[in-house]
Structure 1
Amino acid sequence: MNTPVFTRTDPALGEFSLRPVDPAADAAVLHSWVTHPKAVFWLMQDCDLAAVEKEFARIDADPHHDAFLGLHNGTPAFLMERYDPAHRELVGIHVAEPGDIGMHFLCAPTDTPVHGFTHAVLTTVMEMLFADPATHRVVVEPDTRNTGVHALNKAVGFEIRRTVSLPSKDAYLSTCTRDQFLAARGDH
């Protein structure tokens, strides 16, 4: 389970890879991330270690939802969730098209941020998702108050489609096609 399923090298920042989350083995590191004040939009601030492990075990058992631990030069540094929007998160709100895939990501909190790191993480996530030829469009639903992620999403090609009301938040339903991602990277 610790074998990376995707790896890319960023010329400035080094190697980024993703492997499936192991709910039991990764619970402590994930708990420290999702309960940190900077992860307020993950809505897990009050979760204890057992609740975090239980949530990622639930995701692991769900055929329409996956979680991946992101590594930077071999060290845990980010989290990515992939889901089928026809079955999770956006059911009844977004009419999923064939090839749609939903995504969430979280960078590990740090007191020493590295310029360009979060953009490199999001680029890695998008490259992994689009490495699957069945993926035609990535769908996200970030909280409208999460201004930092909106700028990052725009930088990799996402377009806000509309504001939607979800049970836990008002969100910007946003999409990014393969072509939009490649254009944002400068790969026409």
Structure 2
Amino acid sequence: MSFTFRCVDAAADAPLLHSWVTQPYASFWGMLSSTVDGVVEEYSKIQATGHHHALLGINDDGVPAFLMEEYLPAASPLAAIYAVQEGDIGMHLLVAPPSGDPQPGYTAAVMDAVLERLFEKPGVERVVVEPDARNSKIHVLNERLGFQPAGVVTLPDKEALLSFCTRQDYLAARAALGHPRVHSHDLSTPILQGASL
């Protein structure tokens, strides 16, 4: 299973994204009551910042499979929370609702693809995530892929579990879980990582 990435087109992709972010499982994304126009507005703002970008992950069949956001922690509310290091990049992840029977290991494969992409970017040494502290599913997945929890922090929109994954921790976790793609038997339901900062 492999994925490619393309930039979100806020207007063209808004109906699809709206159908994802308003699903009950996406409650931690913080957009349950959004309209399609609200999604256009949110992702237009994100794409215009220059330091926060949204991308769609496309599966082997050419179908959008997940939404990821990458951002610079130094330009986010996290800058007031922890000592941002050179080489840090922030990430949010929302996996699309399943279109058929859940595939064991699917969300782990998605996360692996996202981390692989981020660590391929020049200068990236550590990925930072700040999912809602109540989002237990994503905490389990994060730790499997090498994230180390740093503690619960208060952000403008939530209490979040701040976690970090270095390149070395990611590669070690990937090897331990079955390089080149990790496997998981209990993480086949949709998950999400954080929400727009």
What TM-score do you get using the length of structure 2 for normalisation? 0.86
The equivalent position to 2:94 in structure 1, one of 106, 115, 123, is 106
Query: 2:149·2:162 contact (CA, 8 Å) conserved in 1?
Result: yes
Q: Which residue does the alignment assign to 2:80? A: 92
Query: 2:58·2:65 contact (CA, 8 Å) conserved in 1?
Result: yes
Name the SS of the counterpart of 1:82 in structure 2.
strand
The equivalent position to 1:129 in structure 2, one of 118, 123, 126, is 118
Higher relative contact order (CA 8 A, sep 6+): 2
Query: 1:34·1:45 contact (CA, 8 Å) conserved in 2?
Result: yes
1:139 maps onto 2:128 in alignment: yes
User: How far does the alpha carbon of each residue in 1:43-99 deviate from its partner, in whole angstroms, 9 at most, with x for none?
Assistant: 000000000011000011011100001111110110000000000141211221000
Report runs of 4+ in structure 1 exceeding 3 Å deviation.
none
Q: Which residue does the alignment assign to 1:82? A: 70
Q: Which residue does the alignment assign to 2:6? A: 19
Query: 1:123·1:156 contact (CA, 8 Å) conserved in 2?
Result: yes
Name the SS of the counterpart of 2:20 in structure 1.
helix
Query: 1:66·1:81 contact (CA, 8 Å) conserved in 2?
Result: yes
Name the SS of the counterpart of 2:75 in structure 1.
coil
Using the TM superposition, give the Cα deviation of residue 132 of structure 1 relative to its aligned residue in structure 2, in angstroms.
1.1
Return the alpha-carbon distance in structure 1 between the equivalents of residues 26 and 164 of structure 2.
22
Name the SS of the counterpart of 1:44 in structure 2.
coil
Unaligned runs of 5+ in 2: 180-197
Query: 1:19·1:68 contact (CA, 8 Å) conserved in 2?
Result: yes
Q: Which residue does the alignment assign to 1:48? A: 35
What TM-score do you get using the length of structure 1 for normalisation? 0.90
Q: Which residue does the alignment assign to 1:161? A: 150
Query: 2:88·2:125 contact (CA, 8 Å) conserved in 1?
Result: yes
Unaligned runs of 5+ in 1: 1-13
1:36 maps onto 2:36 in alignment: no
Equivalenced residue count is 174
1:149 maps onto 2:128 in alignment: no
Return the alpha-carbon distance in structure 1 between the equivalents of residues 35 and 77 of structure 2.
23
